[in-house]
Amino acid sequence: MALMWGSFVLLTLLALLFIVIPFLRKEKVQRLDHNANSELIDIYYQRLAELQTELDNQRIEKQAYNESVVELKRRLLNELSPEKALNSTGNNRLFALTGAVFLIALTTVFYSFTGSQQQIQGWYDAMANLQSYGERAVRQNGEPLTANELQAFALALRTKLDQSGDDEVAWMLLGRVAMSLNEYDMAQQSFDKVLRLNPENKQVLISYSQVLLIEGSEANMSRAASMLSKVLKAEPTNLDAISLLALIAYERKDWLQAKTAFEVLLGSMEKNDTRYNMIAQRIAEIDQNIAAQTAEIGTQTSSNESSTMTISVDIKAELKEQIPENSTLFVFAKAANGSAMPLAVVKYTDFSFPMDVVLSDKNAMMAGLTLSSAEQIIVTARLSKDTTVMPSPGELEGVSEVLERSAVKSYSLLIDELIH
């Protein structure tokens, strides 16, 4: 502080010197007496008379005469100009004093509006009250800290850490204060410092998990779950860690894990606890979600079963000799009406007849275009000469009639045609 004020005074003095010195400097006045001026004037008139004589005798032209007169006047004015310096008057000391007062007044007003004296005083107050803030925040002595006091507490903690180096307790307190101020980036940085000093600090692992959960991304929730698992490995009954894990499972819709965690919390509470009913309601909500999820899985399973068909594929005896070498067997279903894109396709490079092929929604080529999306279908079995499903001359195939998908669970398909 003393250094700052000393610098301020020094700069002000330097500014005063720049203003005062020019006014106090003695002026060098060139003096010229009246006799010298009279001689110059006499010479001027003498030379003017000579020029008039030469003009009268026609020794010079009128234009040359006029130019010479102008030159004589200019020279006379230049030689008489030092007399102007004799008219310089004024009180320089008064000017110097006025400039100094103006500078000091301007500096004072400017600093009062733009200076940081209030912030500096606030910093001194924060450092003086550091211990008091710590007792009120940690030991709950006295009134809770206000938002402004939390800001001052954070400032004092940062100053302490800057002056004294790494301190595990100070970093932990700074992280918690930052959480209270919703400064989550500062909180994460502070907790990172603590964990580098002590990776097993359970209180910080739990607080850090809370910060990560507030951010809410999947990556941060996974990191929070890892930290909480580390806490529970050392303290299996740590209710803070269990409650946070329950929230993570709930956010991820992992209902079974969430229910287990909430039931552990409920079992650790008395029925008159204000949180008991809230957790009981949460468990009831999770039970409803589990029931809905089970029903949805059952519906999907039923739907998948209803959209599954077993195709028994065989080939006409006369065509067995015409099976292309290194051929590929494709069995696929298409909608009887609509897109030509197959709804389900299976492919075999190793096969023998007869054989059973299962078609279902799992064999869809693109999302939304599945076997269960069409009610009437046509099934085709093709022996391709290459690895593409597009027909070519010399290939063999068999095509079904129009089938009602929901009514037909199995079908016998015969490859009986040579493509020309």
Q: For the chain, which residues make up each domain, given as ranges? A: 2-24+33-81+91-111, 129-288, 308-418
Residue 278 CB: number of other CB atoms within 10 A? 10
The CATH number assigned to the domain with range 308-418 reads: 2.60.40.1120
Tens-digit pLDDT profile for residues 292-345: 776 655 555 445 545 788 999 999 999 988 888 888 899 999 888 877 778 888
What's the pTM? Answer: 0.45
CB 391 within 8 A of CB 330: no
Share of the chain above pLDDT 70, in %: 74
CB 418 within 8 A of CB 400: no
Reply yes or no on whether the pLDDT at 123 is more than 60: no
CA angle 270, 275, 281 (to 5 degrees): 105
d(CA 264, CA 256): 13
Report helix, strand and coil shares of the chain as percent, to nearest 5. Answer: 60, 10, 25
Cα–Cα separations (whole angstroms), residue 237 to 246, 261, 268, 279, 382: 13, 11, 9, 17, 64
Tens-digit pLDDT profile for residues 95-105: 667 767 777 77
Q: Which residues of 375-402 are buried (b: 16+ CB within 10 A; e: fewer)?
A: eebbbbbbbbbeeeeeeeeebbbbebee
Q: Which residues of 118-133 are buried (b: 16+ CB within 10 A; e: fewer)?
A: eeeeebeebeeebeeb
Tens-digit pLDDT profile for residues 367-414: 667 888 888 999 999 998 877 767 888 899 999 999 988 888 899 999
Cα–Cα separations (whole angstroms), residue 396 to 85, 307, 324, 419: 122, 27, 8, 6
The arrangement of secondary structure in 129-288, i.e. its CATH architecture, is: Alpha Horseshoe (1.25)
Reply yes or no on whether the pLDDT at 49 is more than 70: yes
For residue 5, the model assigns a pLDDT of: 56
Tokens 């800001």 sit at which residue? 151
d(CA 147, CA 138): 16
Ramachandran angles phi, psi of 376, nearest 5°: -110, 130
Q: Of 332 and 15, which is predicted with more confidence?
A: 332
250, amino acid identity = Y
- Pairing verdict, β 309-315 and 410-415: parallel
d(CA 33, CA 176): 88
State the chain's maximal CA–CA distance in angstroms: 149
Q: Which one-letter DSSP state was computed for residue 338?
A: S
For residue 349, the model assigns a pLDDT of: 86
